[in-house]
Amino acid sequence: MQKTKFSQILKKFGINISHRRPRPTEEEKTFSQSEILVSKTDVRGVITYVNAQFIEISGYSQNELLEQPHSITRHPKMPKIIFKVLWDNLKSGQEVNAFVVNLAKDGSYYWVFANVTPSFDASNKIIGFHSTRRRPNKKGLTAVIALYDKLRQYEIIGGIKESEIVLKNFLEKEEVSYEKFVFNLQYS
């Protein structure tokens, strides 16, 4: 009932949520090193473009993805703080790299290494965003999964403020910036 009302409010703002959230399973999907999964959004994060590879792994049709908020592929194992880092960077006009686990329509999951960039018009105004996802480095994923589990635990206890502190302390201890941390995991 509440969900229906919420989706009606979003519809008034031009955001159309017409799906039910899939129940996550333990089944993992992978893709080859030569594949690139692409999506584009408007400034609100509403999907405006998906390539064939993204459609294929997501399990949705192109029509089911277009005009939906990108959180349609959000997996509950993703910490909120990672999306905050993503949006903070994007809104300040910077690109960001992130390891993301996504939820497919059938409940399975797939890990990606995403490079997300803002697109600008000629007057330097942000007009949308673009995500290019590659197969993640398997060795790097072990460290990412351990970190994300910890971040989510702290989010359950103390919300995003708590996980932000945990992430900051973790990076300080490792003596790296967030960008360097993810880059090292993917490329070393």
Ligand X SMILES: Cc1cc2nc3c(=O)[nH]c(=O)nc-3n(C[C@H](O)[C@H](O)[C@H](O)COP(=O)(O)O)c2cc1C
Q: Give the binding site for ligand X (CB under 6 A).
A: 39, 41, 45, 70-71, 73-74, 78, 83, 90, 100, 102, 116, 129-131
* Nearer CB in complex with ligand X: 90/166: 90
Considering the complex, what minimum distance in angstroms separates the CB of residue 113 from ligand X?
A: 11
Considering the complex, what minimum distance in angstroms separates the CB of residue 130 from ligand X?
A: 6
- Reference 74, options 115, 21, 146; nearest CA is 21
Write out the two tokens for 91: 């809104």
* Nearer CB in complex with ligand X: 105/130: 130
* Nearer CB in complex with ligand X: 74/105: 74
Considering the complex, what minimum distance in angstroms separates the CB of residue 187 from ligand X?
A: 20
Q: Do residues 6 and 16 touch, judged by C-beta distance below 8 A?
A: no
* Nearer CB in complex with ligand X: 116/185: 116
Considering the complex, what minimum distance in angstroms separates the CB of residue 140 from ligand X?
A: 18
* Nearer CB in complex with ligand X: 21/139: 21
Considering the complex, what minimum distance in angstroms separates the CB of residue 54 from ligand X?
A: 8
* Nearer CB in complex with ligand X: 82/185: 82
Considering the complex, what minimum distance in angstroms separates the CB of residue 42 from ligand X?
A: 9
- What HEC string does the chain produce? CHHHHHHHHHHHCCCCCCCCCCCCCCCECCCCCCCCEEEEECCCCEEEEECHHHHHHHCCCHHHHCCCEHHHHECCCCCHHHHHHHHHHHHCCCCEEEEEEEECCCCCEEEEEEEEEEEECCCCCEEEEEEEEECCCHHHHHHHHHHHHHHHHHHHHHHHHHHHHHHHHHHHHHCCCHHHHHHHHHHC
